Amino acid sequence: MSVKSESDDVSNKPQLACKTVLVTGGAGFIGSHLILLLAARYPLWRIINVDSLNYCSSLKNLIYLENTSTYKFIQGDVCDQYFIDHIFSTENINIVFHCAAQSHVENSFLYPSQFMHVNAAGTTLLLQAAFESGVEKFIYMSTDEVYGDSLDKYFDESSPKRPTNPYSTSKAAAENSVMSYWKNHKFPVVIARSSNVYGPRQYHEKVIPRFLFLLQQDQKCTIQGTGLQSRHFLYVDDVTEALLILMKRGIIGEIYNIAANFEIAIIQLARDLVKMVKTASNDKLDDWILFVDDRPVSDLRYPMISDKMHKLGWKPKVPWEEGIRRTIKWYEENKSYWPVVTEKEPQGC
């Protein structure tokens, strides 16, 4: 398990005053990696993990912290006002990382009201409780999808939000709530918009772990539409490093793009993973690819500029070749970590 970066090694640096940090969705993919990094970087801080333990979350992601006195897991729903009010009234929380969300785009077309309820209304409820308790900093984890599609123009933080699906619409609505607390109450908020994140322990609804699971079971990679849509992929350690930098140096009331340098078309991603996983196969690459119906709306790409993050001292450090090697290795060694996936289940990207 690697949770430190060379540029931010704190072994010989004085720690900040002890804090209590709340991470919502902390048993999920990004949230669990963030908690492990916080625990390694700030071993004296208290970390509260609130998660409803939905299908894509697992306490196995945090097994290393099970017997750690500074870590506490509380199962609960961010949409439960009584529960959230109780957390803030009893835990003396200083910093909030709000990572909890419904994030599967395909499901958002089926259950749009549920996504709006969890992602937008739940965020507003959490904001109010954090505001009333005097939280020092509230960091909201958003997505590049709020910008909508672009073939050539790169988005910066001032670009208009033009979400095209129920998931990104709910995230954009949540951002509006976050910024309203800054504008109306000067509540110290920061918004992070990230490119697609990948790495070990990600649930197989996302495209990279889905392709890997299917190939491990000798099934074909299912590609929606033409597969020409491309995504920018960012290794999870780079994202959690960015979030800690925003905790320490992010300017309140600001939005920051956490953008990947690496972009690849989904069909090329599938072919590359076939090469890496099916090295002994004599089949042609496309023999392992199955084209399926596209989603109702499919954006081609979400290119972003990260100049604001670069000024804070952050840049991606894990190149694609290294990140995907680590990811493939983890899934090869943990084939039964998540339930079995089939070709018929949709992937998200």
Q: Are 177 and 124 in contact (CB under 8 A)?
A: yes
Q: Active site includes 144?
A: yes
Torsion angle, CA of 326/101/68/63, rounded to 10 degrees? -40
Q: Active site includes 167?
A: yes
Please state whether the predicted TM-score (pTM) of the whole model is above 0.75: yes
Q: Which CATH number fits domain 20-202+233-260+302-318: 3.40.50.720, 3.30.413.10, 2.60.120.20, 3.30.70.1380?
A: 3.40.50.720
Q: Active site includes 91?
A: no
> Which one from 42, 140, 144, 299 is the annotated catalytic residue?
144
pLDDT tens digits, 154-167: 999 999 999 999 99
> Which one from 167, 203, 256, 302 is the annotated catalytic residue?
167
Q: What is the pLDDT of residue 219?
A: 94
Range name among 143-147, 179-183, 261-265, 295-299 with the lowest pLDDT average: 295-299
pLDDT tens digits, 330-347: 999 999 999 875 545 555
**DSSP codes, 73-93:** EEE--TT-HHHHHHHHHHS--
> Which one from 42, 51, 140, 145 is the annotated catalytic residue?
145
> Domain limits of the chain?
20-202+233-260+302-318
Q: What is the pLDDT of residue 16?
A: 60
